[in-house]
Homo-oligomer: A and B are copies of this chain.
Amino acid sequence: MQRIGVLTSGGDAPGMNSCIRAVVRKAIYHGMEVIGIKRGYSGFIDADMGPMNLGSVADIIHRGGTILHTARSQRFQTKEGRAQAMENVRRFGIQGLVVIGGDGSFTGASIFHQEHGIPVVGVPGTIDNDISGTDYTIGFDTALNNVVDAINKIRDTATSHERTFVIEVMGRNSGNIALAAGLAGGAESILVPEILFNIEDICHKLLSGHKRGKLHSIILVAEGAASGLTIGQQIKDLTGFDTKVTILGHLQRGGIPSAFDRILAARLGAKAVELLMAGDSGKMVGVRSGEVVASDLQEILGKPCPINDEMYQLAKILSI
């Protein structure tokens, strides 16, 4: 393996830069060259790529986002698009590919690998932590801290005004961010797409809490479970409480990556390079009980990633 390519794809996640840095430095350490591919698969198709050196990744370890930029590409879902990308693989002499992204990006990587035989290793980079085969995905810990920081701030005003706050957080089809943030932030109720909820029960809990003297409450809503605005209106209607809604949106994805994400990203990026050097392919790297491991992309693709039931039950018990 003389030359590898690296790209970030799908939604950006804090820590991706630390991962890119690790891929580049690890490869150079072992005497290989690295081609940085811009804008995910669309840059891969458009040959928007070029060599990276130690300088390319200097002073990026603490930056959010991704210096390679990212995008979602329709064309890579077509045979023609992938063939065009393969052209660039030959043209730039790329012998192995590191794809940093989420489930969708891995599907494309896996098909590309099967169609054209080029070795590919995936690194889980998404704030949603919804990929099986790893305990944590790169970006989840930072996003989680962003949400909990927002909860801290909103709690100040919730307490002062004795209000009910509904906070809508990211997570597409996953309740991981909502559950973890709700447990860490001491939310009164947590709505996740994985578990059916009943708005009457939630309001009943708010009302009985209010009877016991609880003067403010925070409800976390995963975007995949319901609309924060809808829930806020329903609570207002059913309880009469002064209810405010905040939709955190994209600020959850940004900011200085946490130490946890930087370390995870560095370890996974280096492992991806090792796998390619070892002639391994069609794999995704991950972390399990503190150890870096590899799984077959085939096995983990589309595999459901249930939320932690012990944590869900615990959140309920602690919010009494």
Contacts and interface: CB of A to CB of B under 8 A. Distances in A.
B254 A249 contact: no
A288 interface: yes
B311 A160 contact: no
Contacts of A266: 183-184, 314, 318
Interface string A249-280: 11111111011101100110010000000000
A64 to B, nearest CB: 3
A114 to B, nearest CB: 28
Interface in A45-79: 54, 59, 61-66, 69-71
Given A141-B260, A153-B252, 20 more contacts: A18-B184, A22-B318, A25-B318, A25-B320, A62-B185, A65-B156, A66-B160, A141-B259, A149-B255, A153-B255, A154-B254, A157-B250, A183-B262, A185-B259, A246-B249, A246-B251, A247-B247, A258-B258, A267-B310, A270-B317
A245 B250 CA distance: 8
Contacts of A237: none
A312 B308 CA distance: 31
A259 B161 contact: no
Given A29-B317, A54-B320, A263-B311, A250 B141 contact: no
> Main SS of chain A's interface residues?
helix
A244 interface: yes
A292 interface: yes
A282 interface: no
Contacts of A135: 289-290
Interface string A184-201: 111000000000000000
Q: What copy number does this chain have within its complex?
A: 4
B270 A314 contact: yes
Given A185-B61, A260-B141, A153 B251 contact: yes
A157 B244 CA distance: 26
Interface of A: 8, 11-12, 14, 16, 18, 21-22, 25-26, 28-29, 39, 54, 59, 61-66, 69-71, 135, 141, 144-150, 152-162, 165, 180-181, 183-186, 244-256, 258-260, 262-263, 266-267, 270, 288-290, 292, 308, 310-311, 314, 317-318, 320
A152, A247, A252, A314 interface centre (most CB from chain B within 10 Å)? A314
B14 A183 contact: no
A289 B289 contact: yes
A249 to B, nearest CB: 4
Instruction: List 8 tightest A-B contacts by C-beta distance, closest first.
Output: A289-B289, A153-B254, A64-B156, A156-B254, A65-B160, A65-B156, A12-B160, A246-B249
Contacts of A62: 148, 152, 155, 185-186
A247 B246 contact: yes
